[in-house]
Amino acid sequence: MMEILELARQKAEAAELYEAKTQALSVSFHGGEVEKVASEEILGRALRVIVKGRLGFASTAGGTPEALVEAAL
């Protein structure tokens, strides 16, 4: 999180980062028996920046911090 804000601060007048983590657990049964168990974790990020008085925005559920900052600029 701090890495993204540091990168954004080098190129923008202001930056705001929002992160949301979602976790899901799925259990499948067949004939009263556990058939499959799966878990998933997704980390989403949104970056808002101000550059030369103009607003920039980008969001992702993957990718690199550098790519997120460049997309917002």
pLDDT digits (tens, 9 = 90+) for 34-50: 999 999 999 999 999 99
Helix (H) and strand (E) counts in the chain: 2, 3
Categorize the per-residue pLDDT at 62 as very low, low, confident or very high, splitting at 50, 70 and 90. confident
Pairing mode, strands 14-30 and 33-51: antiparallel
| Closest to 64 in 3D by CA, of 72, 56, 54 | 72
Block residue for tokens 């923008």: 12
Domain enclosing residue 45, as ranges: 2-72
Distance CA 45, CA 55 (A): 17
Distance CA 65, CA 19 (A): 12
- The count of domains in the chain is 1
Categorize the per-residue pLDDT at 1 as very low, low, confident or very high, splitting at 50, 70 and 90. confident
Mean pLDDT calculated for residue range 16-27: 96
